[in-house]
Amino acid sequence: MKRIALAVVLVVSLATPAWAGYEEGVAAYGRGDFPAALREFEDLALQGDAAAQFYLGIMYDRGGGVAQDDGEAVKWHRLAAAQGSAKALNNIGLLYQNGFDVPRDLAKAYAWYSLAADSFGPGRQREQAARKRDGVAKEISPQQLGRARRLARAWSPGTAAIAAASTPTRAFVALVQDKLQRSGHDPGPVDGLMGFATRAAIRAFQAARQIPITGEISEELLRELDTASLERTARPPTPEPSVPAAPTGALVVRVQEKLARSGHDPGPADGIVGPKTRAAIRAFQAAKNIPVTGEVSAELLRELEITPAD
């Protein structure tokens, strides 16, 4: 990510955050005392200070006082952006526009630049972010532009991960459990403990999003949870089909047939919601990122494109 280092530095400001020690870190960085700067920024960044997180991202990007690490640089910029740091929002847009360490996605670049332009105060930085946003808009289709604007409207500070410790705190695990629950993957009680149910929910979510299945909290897991949240928020509402309290055998047969066509084996299409059919429903629900219940639900019918009255 060294190709964007100069662009990153251009948007650094010396605005003082609430945490003591930031000014000492800035001063140390300015005089080239990178170990001292790292100590100051790292302590504050782990406590959640967005300005320190942003500066730490720059240090990893440039290799100042630490081994150059693109992954760490992106992580700290994301964490700062999650708290509404305009400079970090701008840099995430730059990453997506150029495909630096993330898949190139101009719709997401537009969304991040738009958020940055809205977050900067009046002046040169806001104008630069707006020009980048408008430049990207000229390169994408009307459909992509619509998606980009929905993503920008749906985003709010805190929708991304707000912790960076290698061993997650109970509060942070509870946050992940809540996100898993909202995505339709049951982690058990939201208690901040990495128990069997939580690890199973993580594995199911990872399988559904087609990312490495580890059962652990990772940067990739957090990124996908946030993306899934944005997708759900940005998805236009659709009328829910009504489901009889006890689905008829004919309706269950149609569900079984559709499940089989989708690659989820429900067993024989006999109109009975047995163990194999429930397992197929759960697998399909997980793959579609809807609540995993094992039951014939309105969301299941919508995803299978079944209307009960037909």
The predicted-structure confidence for 155-173, as pLDDT tens digits, reads as follows 766 544 333 334 466 666 7
What are the residues whose beta carbons fall under 8 Å from the beta carbon of 258, sequence distance 6 or more? 304, 305, 306
pTM over 0.75: no
Write out pLDDT tens, residues 58-105.
Answer: 888 888 778 887 777 887 888 888 778 888 899 888 888 888 777 788
Q: Residue 82: name the closest of 5, 149, 163, 19 by CA.
A: 163
Average model confidence (pLDDT) for the chain? 79
Q: Which domains, from first to last, does the chain contain?
A: 2-154 (1.25.40.10), 170-234 (1.10.101), 249-304 (no CATH)
Element spanning 201, H or E: helix 196-208
DSSP assignment of 105-170: -HHHHHHHHHHHHHHSPTTHHHHHHHHHHHHHHTTS-HHHHHHHHHHHHH--TTSS-----SS--H
Q: Residue 154: name the closest of 248, 240, 232, 260 by CA.
A: 232
146 residue type, one letter: G
